[in-house]
A = this chain, B = another copy of it.
Amino acid sequence: MPREQEMKANLQNYLDGFNEGDSEKVISLFAEDARVEDPVGSDPLKGIASIASFFQQSVPSVKRLELAAPIRGSHSNSAAMAFNIYVEIEGKESVIRCIDVMTFNDDGFIIDMKAYWGPEDIQS
């Protein structure tokens, strides 16, 4: 099981990858057979090919990610964080308020990501 500090470091790497515009850094955090549901309630992406395609599109489209509170761990192989996504929507700077829950496999890669944000969490 990955240690709490390693999981938190990988969530920080996820934020940093976005903020450095480095989609490969983000993609490298995920396992080959990972599952990404962003937002929760949408059809999940399954497997690294779909996930890579998703982040190759989303990383350049995001201005920055900012933590809203310190990253949380757990007593198991999951960690979670509340953050804000700054994006331009139809020419206006907008913010999406999000909570991501990441679950890790034994090798320390993200095997599951769930992004909790709804229509009302977007503010323009």
**Residues of A in contact with B (beta carbons under 8 Å apart):** 4-5, 8, 39-42, 68-70, 72-82, 97-99, 101, 114, 116-121
Contact = CB atoms under 8 A, between A and B. Distances in A.
Nearest to A96: B72
B73 A121 contact: yes
A41 B120 contact: no
B4 A41 contact: no
Nearest to A98: B72
Contacts of A99: 72, 80-82, 99, 101
29 contacts: A4-B118, A4-B119, A4-B120, A8-B120, A39-B74, A39-B75, A40-B74, A40-B76, A41-B76, A68-B68, A68-B69, A69-B69, A69-B82, A69-B97, A70-B97, A72-B97, A72-B116, A73-B116, A73-B117, A73-B119, A73-B121, A74-B118, A79-B116, A80-B99, A80-B101, A80-B116, A81-B99, A101-B114, A101-B116
B41 A75 contact: yes
